[in-house]
């Protein structure tokens, strides 16, 4: 049984890391912050790796309804051939409920529970807010599950998960 490690952005580390933009601004009305990395750990071919990514927060000013989206790249290890790639169709995400909100309006998770998880083979709604036009914020701690292909070879895999807001 071989062991593989997932890693993003920092190949020198032994543990897996996931890059996420730290701050995104939209017309000074909405901002998003998220951890710049998350430890994804290690897994074996045919197994899965499951972890929380860390808190993601959107702050909206007055007159700002918003939708946060999430997308990902494939996770690869050089040279990145079929046995060295974990495609985004094997990477599942669910936002979970908010861990904290402020202001008024309706805050809606993109995927409330594990059973609602969606693969990241296309951009997905992570969280949204609508309603009263007052300053607001929402924080959630999304969960990522990577189904490691049984044909995967041992190595350090890199990839990126990106949150954005509009």
Looking at residue 6, its pLDDT comes to 56
Q: Which helix (H) or strand (E) holds 140?
A: strand 136-140
**Least confident segment among 31-40, 65-74, 114-123, 124-133:** 31-40
Q: With CA atoms as reference, report the closest residue to 163 among 10, 57, 29, 27.
A: 57
Looking at residue 9, its pLDDT comes to 43
**Least confident segment among 13-27, 61-75, 83-97:** 13-27
Q: Which residues contact 42 (CB under 8 A, 6 or more apart)?
A: 3, 4, 5, 6, 15, 16, 49
pLDDT-derived band at 115 (thresholds 50, 70, 90) equals very high
- Two tokens, residue 123: 């951009």
Q: What percent of the chain has pLDDT over 90?
A: 66
How far apart CA 40 and CA 5 sit, in angstroms, is 8
Q: What percent of the chain has pLDDT over 70?
A: 83
SS3 of residue 66 by DSSP: strand
β-pairing verdict for 136-140 and 56-60: antiparallel
The terminus-to-terminus CA distance of the chain in angstroms comes to 44
CA 162 to chain centre: 6
Sign of CA dihedral 19, 140, 144, 31: negative
- Two tokens, residue 166: 């509009």
pLDDT-derived band at 26 (thresholds 50, 70, 90) equals very low
Looking at residue 28, its pLDDT comes to 53
Looking at residue 5, its pLDDT comes to 58
Asked whether the predicted pLDDT for residue 13 surpasses 60, the reply is no
* Token pair 């609602």 in the structure block, residue: 116
Highest-pLDDT range among 12-16, 27-31, 53-57, 133-137:
53-57
């Amino acid at each position: 049984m071989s062991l593989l490690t997932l890693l993003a952005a920092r190949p020198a580390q032994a543990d897996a890391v996931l890059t996420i933009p730290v701050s995104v601004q939209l017309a000074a009305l909405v901002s998003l912050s998220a951890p710049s990395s998350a430890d994804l750990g290690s897994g074996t071919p045919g197994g899965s790796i499951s972890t929380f990514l860390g808190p993601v927060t959107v702050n909206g000013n007055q007159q700002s309804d918003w939708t946060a989206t999430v997308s990902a790249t494939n996770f690869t290890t050089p040279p990145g051939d079929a046995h060295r790639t974990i495609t985004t169709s094997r990477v599942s995400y669910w936002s979970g409920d908010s861990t904290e909100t402020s202001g008024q309006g309706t805050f809606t998770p993109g995927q409330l529970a594990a059973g609602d998880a969606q693969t990241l083979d296309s951009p997905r709604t992570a969280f949204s807010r609508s309603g009263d036009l007052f300053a607001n914020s929402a924080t959630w701690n999304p969960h990522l599950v990577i189904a490691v292909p049984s044909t995967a070879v041992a190595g350090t895999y890199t990839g990126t998960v990106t949150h954005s807001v509009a």
